[in-house]
Structure 1
């Protein structure tokens, strides 16, 4: 899989770049943590309504965890400090959040990149899309597990997370293998964090992941999730 670097947007309007490419990169006016979080919240409130993350909080600070220290149903519990695979945030919920906003409090040393991949560039044929939209899979979410499809009706969003999606039949295995294969062969974009950076991701369009991280690197990102 090839990767390319992301350049900082020079526009103060978050919706223009989001509509064009599915993500937008900004810099807070101050590089300290308070300024970054403040700008992050302002941008998020312009986009929609905050929703709680897995831990139940509307505002979170995330950092790489080893498998033994991570939430038991998170990707980190499976992959630890290795690279986190591309996924849709909140795939384990019936409606994934529309936007994911990340603000860099500390890039860490060595810094781990956030990887971005627009699923609309994966070259799915009409038959592929019919398979993804018409084949049920099991979404594991504890007692709230449910059945869904990888592609939402009408192609509104791609629900993909290897940590919570399971096939229920041969067509389900084909659908998941199709997405996994296209991701493995795709060209992605990498953002290497600097303190004060703010990344807005259209979660319905762009999958994200993380490059490998070191234990104790100090990497900390503020995160909010937005419904719209």
Structure 2
């Protein structure tokens, strides 16, 4: 999984369930934008879980699991029903309850029933949305790229135009900065809170989980301070100066 995430191909051993042995040849798996790791124990090991962007647990009824197992083992693996039931009661069911079922708590998404088309469609749509994100978001998951509208492109056109006056440049730059600050605030942690409105009704809203402070990196960061103060009343802002040592850009203080 680590190699695939780094864009490197891997060789996957092939396994014969009839002989219970690895067989040749191994299967070459090339890296891709979407990697699906499937298996009954994939959520059991924390090292494997930490490599996943989305963890899914398909919750199937025990009777359905047993019926599918009987069909698979008798048709595909040449076993008789007696051996399948014996193995299920002695090993499969106890192992499921001890190792697999507890891993359900680590799942981001739990799909009830394997044929749940609505849940599958939602997952597919989420993956397609991620694939449509900016390339930087795929590399750095903590980066958020604002959706570009005609209004934003129009302001970018004005601030980049050599004929734009200083007054207009400052005005539209401040507007763009305000949009960036407001977008950034939307990604801070919130907690839910219910309040009573003047009409006496209950409104379920949100508040910031923690107290906020701003850190301005001198000098470019100072251009965003006014927008931050306008959005967050009474916010305290500290300053950091990054000083380069030499011209190689490697050492800072």
TM-score band (shorter)?
under 0.3
Structure with greater proportional strand content: 1
Q: TM-score, with normalisation over the residues of structure 1?
A: 0.21
Task: Compare CA radii of gyration and give the structure with the larger one.
Answer: 2
TM-score by length of 2: 0.19
More helix, by proportion: 2
Of structures 1 and 2, the one scoring higher in RCO (CA 8 A, sep 6+) is 1
